[in-house]
Amino acid sequence: MMTSTAVRLKVGLFGIGLDVYWEQFEELKPRLLAYVQQVHDRLEAHDIDIVNLGLIDTVDKAIDAGHRFRQADVDLIFLYVTTYALSATVLPVVRRAKVPVIVLNLSPEAAIDYTYFNNLGSRREMTGEWLAYCAACPVPELANVFRRAGIQFYQITGLLDADDPCWREVADWIAAAKVAHIMAHNRLGVMGTYYSGMLDIYTDLTLQLATFGGHIEHLEVDELSALRKEVTHEQISSRVADLRSAFDVQSDCSGDELARAARTSVALDMLVAKHKLGALAYYYKGSGIPENEDTMSSIILGSTYLTANGIPVAGEYEVKNAQAMKILDSFGVGGSFTEYYAMDFEDDVVLMGHDGPGHFRIAAGKIKVKPLQVYHGKVGQGLSVEMSVKHGPVTLLSVVEGDSGKLVLLVAEAASEPGPILEIGNTNSRYRFPIGARRFVESWNSHGPAHHCAVGTGHMASKIEKLGKLLELETIKVC
């Protein structure tokens, strides 16, 4: 399913040097350009667009490079420090570009071959050889100027060798930049209204847009109900087949209920396509208007289907959690709606889950579809989904709106474990935290999150922390 978020990341790359070196050491510049090309090739493997300006070695080139990066609309710059260079040839580039800068302090080898070096024919040759290894030399100068100029920068220190651990850090920065880019182009739909009385989930929509970018489209439930009328019997039959393939539909689910859910699912797809949505937050009682109640009481399967196909859907109009789900989904690790369900003090785990949409691509086995005679706390009855998140490492993420006037990313790493769950037709998993269940809930709660959060597979704190830096957001890691 294509949405407005399908836009490629564009990264700027340039190396730096000092032009007076080239006449003095004629083999140095070609060597450094080859190093820049090695970095280019490694970055290109991450399926991104690269604007490579080669070696910037004069102030005039630096001024021009700043314009070129800005005109190219790069999202992030990798500054490869190949040798000593004047900070005056760097500041104009990044000041004009106005995007975060990753300083690559990369040596061509783990160490200089001292015997070879000291046996070179002249001190001129020796100096030229040394300059190919002195990437670390100007980094303090650059850091000083960047700090004084208020320019956001981060450092990666290591080797050009592809097996060096620094390239994993480069990959994490690119992954985080891709997510920031997706969020900046995301269209979040908000349909209905808040669940009355849940004060913690109310949020400043302008703050959300100012922080993450993108667009928020306000939608009417009436529009979804109208779209349901356009759905054909053929579309319903086809979607029923899709749902039976994707889910483990229990034998006590009636054909009528499955068809009702399929109709709403197709209508949701139509709504998403019409408004180019990349995520959705919804809640609506629908009481007093039979068509709207029919729509909202049959929305869970379609919302789950969307969530697993790159359009995270959050119930209870939880906009902050729709953002958290989109972040995790953009990292490729899911992003399912969850909250505390209960604590198991005997096993020292926290049971967490939620009614409504789940993310079946991170489920342990097929999601079960079960009929519910009542949606607890909500109007109507119908089909619901029951799942546990895949067993193994997981990450919880909450977008927190506190009293600082800024958003905060709250993160915890844990493990999803096998064991008994509450088989009530909702998502539900058992999570073990390295600091224990008691300490986790107290520490997590102390930062004032909403009672909802998102969960994804894998340990993602390092990437989320880098995303926070790119967005200039505080990231708090509980464990």
Query: Do both 89 and 207 map to the same domain?
Result: no
pLDDT for position 294: 87
Token couple for 372: 């519910």
Q: Are 337 and 396 in contact, with CB atoms under 8 Å apart?
A: no
Token couple for 19: 């032009």
Among 181, 206, 228, the domain boundary falls at 181
pLDDT for position 377: 47
pLDDT for 288 beyond 80: no
Q: What is the CATH number of the domain that holds 307?
A: 3.20.14
Q: What is the CATH number of the domain that holds 147?
A: 3.40.50.10940
Token couple for 399: 């977008």
Q: Return the biggest CA–CA distance within the chain.
A: 92
Provide the pLDDT confidence category of residue 94 given band limits of 50, 70 and 90: very high
The three-state secondary structure class of 167 is helix
Q: Is 77 domain-assigned?
A: yes
Q: What is the DSSP secondary structure assignment for residue 449, as one 8-state letter?
A: -
pLDDT for position 81: 96
Which residues on adjacent β-strands are paired with residue 107? 159
Q: What is the pLDDT of residues 201-257, one digit of tens each?
A: 999 999 999 999 999 999 999 999 999 999 999 999 999 999 899 888 888 888 888
Query: Do both 239 and 321 map to the same domain?
Result: yes
pLDDT for position 425: 65
- Identify the CA nearest to 93 among candidates 60, 126, 115: 60
pLDDT, mean over the chain: 91
pLDDT for 4 beyond 50: no
Query: Do both 257 and 359 map to the same domain?
Result: yes
Q: What is the mean pLDDT of residues 454-477?
A: 96
pLDDT for 431 beyond 70: yes
Query: Do both 301 and 367 map to the same domain?
Result: yes
Query: Do both 384 and 283 map to the same domain?
Result: yes
Percentage of the chain lying above the pLDDT 90 cut: 71
Query: Do both 318 and 340 map to the same domain?
Result: yes
Q: Indicate the burial class of 252 (C-beta count within 10 angstroms; 0-12, 13-18, 19 or more).
A: exposed
pLDDT for position 378: 47
Q: Is 360 domain-assigned?
A: yes
Q: What is the pLDDT of residues 381-417, one digit of tens each?
A: 568 788 889 999 999 999 999 888 899 999 999 999 9
Handedness of CA 361, 330, 454, 170 (dihedral sign): positive
Query: Do both 329 and 471 map to the same domain?
Result: yes
What whole-number distance in Å separates Cα of residue 237 and Cα of residue 241?
6
pLDDT for position 229: 96
Q: Is 2 domain-assigned?
A: no
Number of domains in the chain: 2
Among 181, 213, 244, the domain boundary falls at 181
Tally of CB atoms within 10 A around 72: 15
The three-state secondary structure class of 88 is helix
Query: Do both 161 and 131 map to the same domain?
Result: yes
Q: What is the pLDDT of residues 355-389, one digit of tens each?
A: 767 788 898 888 888 876 555 444 555 687 888 89
Query: Do both 169 and 220 map to the same domain?
Result: no
Q: Is 4 domain-assigned?
A: no
Q: Is 3 domain-assigned?
A: no
- Identify the CA nearest to 330 among candidates 477, 154, 173, 177: 177
pLDDT for position 477: 97
Among 151, 181, 211, the domain boundary falls at 181
Q: Are 217 and 280 in contact, with CB atoms under 8 Å apart?
A: no
What whole-number distance in Å separates Cα of residue 333 and Cα of residue 310?
11
Query: Do both 168 and 228 map to the same domain?
Result: no
The better pLDDT of the pair 316, 10 is held by 10
Q: Is 90 domain-assigned?
A: yes
Domain assignment of residue 59, given as a range: 10-181
Token couple for 205: 């929509």
What whole-number distance in Å separates Cα of residue 90 and Cα of residue 431?
48
Token couple for 65: 């490079």
Size (the chain), residues: 479
Query: Do both 331 and 363 map to the same domain?
Result: yes
What whole-number distance in Å separates Cα of residue 397 and Cα of residue 337?
10
Q: Is 53 domain-assigned?
A: yes
Phi, psi of 334 (to 5 degrees): 100, -125
Q: Is 298 domain-assigned?
A: yes
- Identify the CA nearest to 76 among candidates 467, 476, 475: 467
Query: Do both 172 and 191 map to the same domain?
Result: no
